[in-house]
Amino acid sequence: MENGEKPEHKSSPFVFRQSEIRAGGGLHRVIECDTALFADALKGTGELLSLTAEADFSVGSGDLLLEGGIKASAAMPCDRCNADFKASLAESFDEVYEYSVESIDIEDLVRQALVLAVPAKILCSDGCKGLCPSCGANLNAGPCKCGPGQDGPFGALRDLKNKEP
C-alpha cells in the first residue's frame, strides 16, 4: 500500500516539522539554497555565487537542538586593491526549539549567518599589496613606475628631508 505524499504546506527546503524530526530521532539535511533568495544579505557588497546550508537536529529531553552552518562563495571587490575576487564565506548557527513549536523555519537563521559571514574587511589575499597611493596602480600586478620604496605623500616628505643640507 502506498500513500502519495501530501504536501500540507507550501514546500520550502527551510521548513521542518517538529513531529517528523522527533519521530526520526533527529534529522540531518544539506540544502543547496536559491542564491536569488539570499542576495539581499550581502547588502550590495558582492554577488552571491553559491550558498549551501547544513542543518543537524538532535532530540533532547524537552526540546530540539539545531546545529547548522552555511558555506557560501561570492564575487566581491577587495577592500585593499579593489579587484573583484571569489570570496569563500562560512558561519555556523545553533538554536533550541521547544516541543510546542511544530513548524520550524530556518530561513532567517541561514540569512543571519550569511550576513555574519561577510568580514568587516574583505581582502583578496592576506598578502594583498593594494594600490599605489600615488598612481593608483594595482601593486599585485607588479611594481609601478613610481619606483621602489615610494609611499605617497610621506615618501615625498622624506625626499624633501633628504635634500636638506
Considering the rule CB under 5 A, would residue 134 count as an interface residue with Zn ion?
yes
Which residue's C-alpha cell is 633628504?
162
39 or 128, CB closer to Zn ion? 128
21 or 124, CB closer to Zn ion? 124
**Which residue in 55, 91, 45 sits closest to 72, CA to CA?**
91
Min dist. Cβ of residue 23 to Zn ion (A): 50
* CA 161 to mean position of chain CA atoms: 47
Q: What are phi and psi of 61, to 5 degrees?
A: -75, -25
Site for Zn ion in 56-85 (CB under 5 A): 78, 80-81
Q: Which stretch binds Zn ion (CB under 5 A): 18-26, 50-58, 111-119, 134-142?
A: 134-142
7 or 147, CB closer to Zn ion? 147
Site for Zn ion in 93-132 (CB under 5 A): 124, 128, 132
Please give the C-alpha separations between residue 136 and each of 37, 81, 145, 151, in angstroms, as whole numbers: 37, 9, 11, 12
C-alpha span between 94 and 11 (Å, rounded): 23
Residues in touch with Zn ion (CB under 5 A): 78, 80-81, 124, 128, 132, 134-135, 144, 146
